[in-house]
Amino acid sequence: MARKKKGNKIDGWINFNKPYDMTSTDAVRFLKRTLKPQKIGHAGTLDPLAKGILPIALGEATKTIPFVQDSEKTYGFTATWGQQRSTDDLEGDVIASSETRPSRADIEALLPAYIGTVTQTPPKFSAIKINGERAYDLARDGEEFEVPSREVEIYDLHITEHNEGATSFEVTCGKGTYVRAIARDIGASLGCYGYVSELNRKKVGCFGLDSAFSLDFFEKMDDSAALEDVILPVHYALDDIPAVIINDQEASKLKQGQALSMIAKPDVQRLLAAGIDMRCTEPQDAVAMYQDKALAILSVSKATLKPYRVFNM
């Protein structure tokens, strides 16, 4: 007989608006104490000095975390000019300074160089691994090391406000982009130095500030009815991959880990209607939907659907 798991059976996502000066781990611990789910995790660390969207996965939704981590993100941030800091943000020690302050025109002329595929060196105080060690641990220990540069995707970067000492921006970027590095590099290019003094993550994939819930909301929540309004379905995080509606017989096979062969004309039409590219030679991801719930994440090769994540809901 299988041992019953401890905690409440809660499957889905919480769009959490993390406050300033709270770690992502502390946010997870708080929600774990409050909701007591069987399983919980977050999709993408947010620094303690940053606020904003921290998607929290509960139960079976933890199987979809990679889809959220890989998604496009939007940040609002303020770069303060005239200093370089060891952490590239407000927390670090001042390691260089300049009396130069950039004009708005100077910054705007430089921005096209920071849009597109950009080579970026992550901050030394980051979670990047160097020979198996976290870079921030090495930096705190005073170790000498180099962080390798890498290519990241920045889709949009523009100024939202500017004054002599600081400039506010909004950036939309891909996985692995460090906003602190953007401010640092712009400051270096302009000869004035710069660091991030304020950071707000406005969007992670389909999770946005307009529908996020604050720490205060959960501190005051005292009944399960309120929780029903907060929990988003597991498939919410899979909105950018095709959804294939399946029947009872197909659901039974997928639950047992069996592949489906969709070669009949009505089945092919169903795949095309779902957005499956039947001409694609590479495997595609899709989600199998059964009775309005996500049943499995599928690897689709032409007309063959193979489950590689099955949800137990």
Asked if residue 172 lies in contact with residue 112, where contact means CB atoms within 8 angstroms, the answer is no
Tell whether 91 and 181 lie within a shared domain. Answer: yes
Is there a single domain that holds both residue 47 and residue 194? no
The separation between CA 233 and the C-alpha centre of its own chain, rounded to angstroms, equals 17
One domain, residues 163 and 259: no
**Any domain includes 5:** no
Residue 271's CATH number: 2.30.130.10
Show the tokens assigned to 84: 């370089």
Residue ranges in 23-145 assigned as alpha helix (H): 24-35, 65-69, 104-110, 135-140
Of 151, 180, 204, which marks where a domain is finished? 204
Q: What is the pLDDT along the chain (313 residues), one digit of tens a residue?
A: 456 678 889 999 999 999 999 999 999 999 999 999 999 999 988 988 999 999 999 999 999 999 999 999 999 999 999 999 999 999 999 999 999 999 999 999 999 999 999 999 988 877 778 888 787 787 787 778 788 899 999 999 999 999 989 999 999 999 999 999 999 999 999 999 999 999 999 999 999 999 999 999 998 887 655 788 899 999 999 999 999 999 999 999 999 999 999 989 999 999 999 999 888 889 999 999 999 999 999 999 988 999 999 999 8
The answer to whether residue 120 is domain-embedded is yes
Which residue pairs, CB below 8 angstroms and at least 24 apart, start in 137-141?
139/86
The strand pair at 116-120 and 213-214 is best described as unpaired
Q: Could you say which of 219, 237, 255 is where a domain stops?
A: 237
Q: Measured between alpha carbons, how far is 307 from 64 in angstroms, rounded to an integer?
A: 13
In a domain, 4, yes or no: no
Whichever domain contains 29, its CATH number is 3.30.2350.10
User: What phi-psi label fits residue 302: left (phi over 0), alpha (psi between -120 and 50 degrees) or beta?
Assistant: left
- 47 in catalytic set: yes
Tokens of 60: 């079976």
2 found inside a domain: no
Whether 299 maps to a domain, the answer reads yes
Asked if residue 196 and residue 272 are part of one domain, the reply reads no
DSSP class of residue 149 equals P
CB distance 67 to 85 below 8 Å:
no
Q: Examine the fold and report which residue of 237, 259, 287 is the final residue of a domain before the chain moves on.
A: 237
**Does one domain contain both 79 and 184?**
yes
In a domain, 47, yes or no: yes
- pLDDT value of position 223: 63
Q: Are residues 192 and 91 in the same domain?
A: yes
Assigned domain for 110 exists:
yes
- Does residue 107 sit in the same domain as residue 165? yes
Do 143 and 63 reside in the same domain of the chain? no
Look at the chain and report how many structural domains it folds into: 3
Q: Domain range spanning residue 216?
A: 12-70+206-237
Say yes or no: 145 and 231 in one domain: no
Res 1: pLDDT: 47
Which residue in the list 47, 88, 89, 185 is annotated as catalytic? 47
The number of CA neighbours under 13 Å toward the Cβ of 287 is 23
CA–CA gap between residue 159 and residue 168 (Å, rounded): 6
Give CA–CA dist 203/170, Å, rounded. 11
Are 288 and 200 within one domain?
no
Inside any domain, residue 137: yes
47 & 146 share domain: no
First-to-final CA distance of the chain: 19
Is residue 238 packed enough to be buried (19+ CB in 10 Å), middle (13-18) or exposed (0-12)? Answer: buried
Same domain for 101 and 60, yes or no, is: no
